[in-house]
Chains A and B, each alone.
Chain A
Amino acid sequence: GQNIDQPTEMTATEGAIVQINCTYQTSGFNGLFWYQQHAGEAPTFLSYNVLDGLEEKGRFSSFLSRSKGYSYLLLKELQMKDSASYLCAVCIGNYQLIWGAGTKLIIKP
């Protein structure tokens, strides 16, 4: 079967750094996505990793290890607006995305 695990909730302080982990076991792999979703809104794209290593994009970075079935999203210089759910999703065959349950990130001043 398909399984994606990520923590349910995390809390961090404004200005700090937080790492959100995602582990996966899927029947196929065509890349891993991270999306941000604010309450009541649709997800917005953050990153896509298909090769091992770190992809940096501004305050956000995403890492992938295919051999370990592991990814993380790193958020630096946290801002209050970063309070949201962060969804890990793996693309398997036929462009289908398998979604994790999401990690709710709470930023405190």
Chain B
Amino acid sequence: GAVVSQHPSRVICKSGTSVKIECRSLDFQATTMFWYRQFPKQSLMLMATSNEGSKATYEQGVEKDKFLINHASLTLSTLTVTSAHPEDSSFYICSARGPTSDYEQYFGPGTRLTVT
């Protein structure tokens, strides 16, 4: 149980375009999902906390108008990178709070974004 999927797994886009990444909890309801970004050889950096039915909470330094988060249902959160630039190229990972544990997070497989 507690499986989280992400789509797409890899995406290449041109500078200036927008990219949407989906995060789904497959066998449980996730009221809270987290979006992380990870650059090569670095740790995970929390970008935002996504709560179903309300606005996402963004970490300091993360532009909310550039990284749009929508958590419209209990099983789906989306991250849209708007007007992407090469410096947005990174590994984006979502996670969801598990159905039984308050603190454990279950991770999606990640999305490798490359902006050319």
Contacts and interface: CB of A to CB of B under 8 A. Distances in A.
A42 B110 contact: yes
Interface residues of A, number: 21
Given A95-B32, A95-B97, A48 B46 contact: no
Contacts of A45: 104, 106
B107 A96 contact: no
B100 interface: no
Interface string B87-99: 0000101000100
Interface string B14-30: 00000000000000000
Interface in A1-56: 30-31, 33, 40-45, 48, 50
Interface residues of B, number: 22
B108 to A, nearest CB: 6
Contacts of A43: 44, 93, 107
B43 interface: yes
Contacts of B107: 42-44
B42 A101 contact: yes
25 contacts: A30-B103, A31-B103, A33-B103, A33-B104, A41-B110, A42-B93, A42-B107, A42-B108, A42-B109, A43-B107, A48-B101, A48-B104, A50-B103, A87-B43, A94-B49, A95-B32, A95-B97, A95-B105, A96-B46, A97-B44, A97-B46, A99-B43, A99-B45, A99-B46, A102-B43
Interface pairs A-B: 4 shortest CB-CB: A42-B107, A101-B43, A99-B43, A42-B110
Interface of B: 32, 34, 42-46, 49, 91, 93, 97, 101-110, 112
